[in-house]
A and B are shown apart, each in its own frame.
Chain A
Amino acid sequence: QVQLVQSEAEVKKPGASVKVSCKVSGGSLTEFSMHWVRQAPGKGLEWIGGLDPEDGETLYAEEFQGRVILTEDTSTDTAFMELSNLRSEDTAVYFCANLRDMVINRPFQAFDFWGQGTMVIVSS
């Protein structure tokens, strides 16, 4: 059974960086179009960025541009999200999620498979 297994919770100081991992267990990362979504405590879901399956480019939400880097290591089937210059507002649960084309030959995409989430706390 395929699972997305994320790294453990992190506590960081303001200004530091954090790198969260998402390992495909029981499958291959090449079968996934990995994206990242975060959720601040008691708040809604916010898309950070991910791989565009059409052209292989990495897309980022504007508010994270220049502060986030998404990478993949296919040798270990692991995706990474690195967020730098952390501030208290970055305290959130970070999810990896697969963006899938749900309808053959039609561009209806959805996040059909999610990791369990990684809590990142930013506090001095």
Chain B
Amino acid sequence: DLQMTQSPSSLSASVGDRVTITCRASLTIGTYLNWYQQKPGKAPKLLIYAASTLQSGVPSRFSGRGSGTDFTLTISSLRPEDVATYFCQHSFSTPFTFGGGTKVEIK
């Protein structure tokens, strides 16, 4: 199965900082890559699909880049409401697999 590896597993940053999360696929997946945000006790929320397209209603401080095997999610200016765990997920083929998650906290 395709494996998705995220890094770092956690990070702490100040409000206003630029934050970047990395996701690497074990095989090339084009741009079949999605990003989700999950707050404690809640279901995941789709942020970005097709590697770089912002889901409707998602703030523009979120952006995604990459293709092939290497992808990034960037928060341009971290806000307190962005405290959450972020997951990448490939949609290249089944089984769909997720990265292990990156927990983002405020310093």
Contact = CB atoms under 8 A, between A and B. Distances in A.
Partners in one complex: yes
B77 interface: no
Q: Is the interface of B mostly helix, strand, loop or mixed?
A: loop
Nearest to B4: A44
Given A44-B100, A47-B95, A111-B44, A102 B87 contact: no
Contacts of A114: 43-45
Interface in A63-110: 95, 97, 102-103, 106-110
B98 interface: yes
Contacts of B49: 102-103, 108, 110, 112
Interface range on chain A (Cβ under 8 Å from partner): 20 to 34
B46 to A, nearest CB: 5
Interface range on chain B (Cβ under 8 Å from partner): 20 to 34
B53 interface: yes
Contacts, number: 66
B98 A59 contact: no
Contacts of B50: 102-103, 106, 108
Interface string A106-124: 1111111011110000000
B44 A45 contact: yes
A45 to B, nearest CB: 4
A114 B36 CA distance: 11
Given A44-B98, A45-B98, A59-B94, A95 B32 contact: no
Contacts of B89: 45, 110-111
B37 to A, nearest CB: 12
Contact of B98 (A35, A47, A103, A117): A47
Interface in B1-54: 1, 31-32, 34, 36, 42-46, 49-50, 53
Interface of B: 1, 31-32, 34, 36, 42-46, 49-50, 53, 55, 87, 89, 91, 94-101
